[in-house]
Structure formats: structure tokens, C-alpha cells
């Protein structure tokens, strides 16, 4: 039976992958590697709606540096720290 820690660990893993996929697709779309595609835009819109509440919260406290948005990096590092702490709890 999954514990609360393992469920939270898995949710954080999924959320971090959503952020990574959103970043990669966004970069490919901005560099025009991927052409305009209705399906891709729908996927990007869903990923935006899933990740933007957390990324937007971090952006309020951390302005862009040199035109680069570092909020995904901050969120991913925070997720990895929380997952490391949860991993230690799962061992007990």
C-alpha cells in the first residue's frame, strides 16, 4: 500500500517532468524547429496551465536576470531537494 510520502514523491516526479517537457517544447517552438501545429499548441497550453501556478509564484519573488527566466530552474532544484528529503523518509 503506497504511503503518503511515496505518493507525494511520485507527484513531484511527474511535475518535474512536466516542467522539463514544457521547457524543451517551448525552446524548440521558439527556435522554430517545430512548425506551427494545433496539437503541439494544445499540449503547450495544457502544460502551461499545469506548471504556471508554481512558476508564476516563483517569478513574483525572482525577477528575470538578463532576460532569462530562471524560475523553472529554481522550482526543479526545490523539487529535487524535497524529493531527497522524502527519499530519506521513505527509507525509515
Q: What is the mean pLDDT of residues 59-76?
A: 88
Indicate the DSSP class of residue 68: B
What is the widest separation between alpha-carbon atoms in the chain? 49
- Domain map (residue ranges) of the chain: 4-91
User: Is the model's pLDDT at 1 over the cut of 50?
Assistant: no
Q: Minimum mean pLDDT among 9-13, 33-37, 74-78: which range?
A: 33-37
Residue 75: strand, helix, or coil? helix
Amino acid at each position: 500500500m503506497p504511503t503518503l510520502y511515496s505518493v507525494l514523491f511520485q507527484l513531484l516526479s511527474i511535475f518535474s517532468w512536466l516542467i522539463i517537457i514544457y521547457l524543451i517544447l517551448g525552446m524548440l517552438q521558439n527556435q522554430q524547429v517545430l512548425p506551427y501545429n494545433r496539437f503541439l499548441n494544445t499540449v503547450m497550453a495544457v502544460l502551461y496551465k499545469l506548471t504556471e501556478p508554481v512558476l508564476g509564484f516563483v517569478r513574483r519573488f525572482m525577477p528575470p536576470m538578463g532576460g532569462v527566466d530562471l524560475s523553472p530552474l529554481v522550482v526543479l532544484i526545490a523539487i529535487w531537494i524535497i524529493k531527497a528529503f522524502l527519499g530519506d523518509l521513505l527509507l525509515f
